[in-house]
């Protein structure tokens, strides 16, 4: 249901969305498809979102892809840890749709690659 909301919001902005049910799946998909943006939930079954971000950023094939991390946790240090792992932005659920859209545009903006 959560993923569906995100898919809906991204698709509404006119983008094509590929979905993965786990970090492992996502890593394979990311290497294979080289998407323009990766949205990563931090709480995942199996490999954690943090670990997945670290691996994506460590892999030269995917390092350049911006990553938007999503988390429902405000108690822990999720957002900070996500930034440390290499996420380009982190939004806290529940998402404010307007902020989400703004962030999406910012990350997909045709700015010179980092």
Partner 1 sequence: MSKRILIADNDVLLSALVREALERVGYQVAVVGDGLEAWSKIQEGAPDFLILDLVMPRLDGARLCRHLKADPRFHSLPVIVLTGTPISGDSDMEALGAEAYIAKRASGAMVEDLLGTLQALERGERPTRAPKDYRSDGDRPRQLVLELLAETAHLSAILENLGEGVLLVDPAGRLTHVNPAGAELLQRPQRELLGAELIAVLGAEPGDPLEKALHQLTSQGGLEPVRLQYSYRDRMLHLTLTNLLEGGRLAGYLLLAREVTPFFRRIHELTALNELANLFTSTLKLDEVLRRVMERIQALMQVEAGSLLLKDPETDELVFQIAVGPQKDAVQGRRLNAGVGITGWVFQAGVPVIVPDVQQDPRFYRGVDATTGFVTRSMLCVPLKVRDKVIGVIEVLNTIANPPFSGEDLNLLSAIAAHGATAIENAVLYEESGKRNRALRDLLETSREFGSTLHLEVLLSMIVRKTLEIAPAARSGIMLLDEESRYGYVQASTAHGRTLRANPRLDLARYPEIRKVIESRQPVIVVDALEDPLMQSVREFIEPIGLRSVLAVPLVSQGQVIGVLDMAHYDEIKRFTADEVDLCQILANHASVAIENARLYGQVTRHATELEQKVRARTQELLMANARLEDASRHKSEFLANMSHEIRTPLNAVIGFSEILRELRVGPLTERQSRYVGNIWQSGKHLLQVINDILDLSKVEAGKLTMAAEALPVVMILEDILTIARVLAHKKDQMVEADVEPRLPPLRADPVRLKQILFNLLNNAVKFTPDGGRITLTARRVAWSSGQPADGSKPMDHLLRPPLDGPSEWLEIKVQDTGVGIRPEDLPRLFQEFTQLESTQDQRHEGAGLGLALTRRLVDMHGGRVWAESEGAGKGSTFTVRLPFDGPGA
Tokens at 107, concatenated: 């990350």
Q: Does residue 84 interact with partner 1 by CB under 8 A?
A: no
Minimum gap (Å) between residue 43 Cβ and partner 1: 7
Burial of residue 83 (number of CB atoms within 10 Å: 0-12, 13-18, 19+) = middle
Per CB under 8 A, does 9 bind partner 1?
Answer: yes
Cβ nearer to partner 1, comparing 17 with 95: 95
Given candidates 80, 97, 102, 106, which one binds partner 1 under the rule CB under 8 A? Answer: 97
Question: What would the two tokens of residue 10 be?
Answer: 């991204």
Neighbours of 11 (CB within 10 A): 11
**What is the closest distance, in whole angstroms, from the C-beta atom of residue 22 to partner 1 in the complex?**
17
Identify the residue whose tokens are 């249901």: 1
Tokens (6 digits) for 16? 């094509």
Name the site residues for partner 1 (rule: CB under 8 A).
1-2, 4-5, 8-9, 12, 43, 72-76, 92-97
């Amino acid at each position: 249901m959560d993923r569906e909301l995100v898919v809906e919001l991204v698709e509404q902005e006119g983008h094509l969305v590929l979905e993965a049910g786990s970090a492992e799946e996502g890593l394979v998909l990311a290497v294979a498809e080289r998407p323009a943006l990766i949205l990563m939930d931090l709480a995942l079954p199996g490999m954690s979102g943090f670990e997945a971000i670290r691996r994506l950023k460590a892999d030269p094939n995917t390092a350049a892809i911006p990553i938007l991390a999503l988390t429902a946790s405000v108690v822990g240090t999720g957002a900070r840890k996500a930034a440390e792992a290499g996420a380009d932005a982190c939004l806290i659920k529940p998402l404010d749709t307007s902020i989400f859209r703004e962030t999406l545009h910012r990350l997909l903006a045709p700015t010179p690659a980092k």
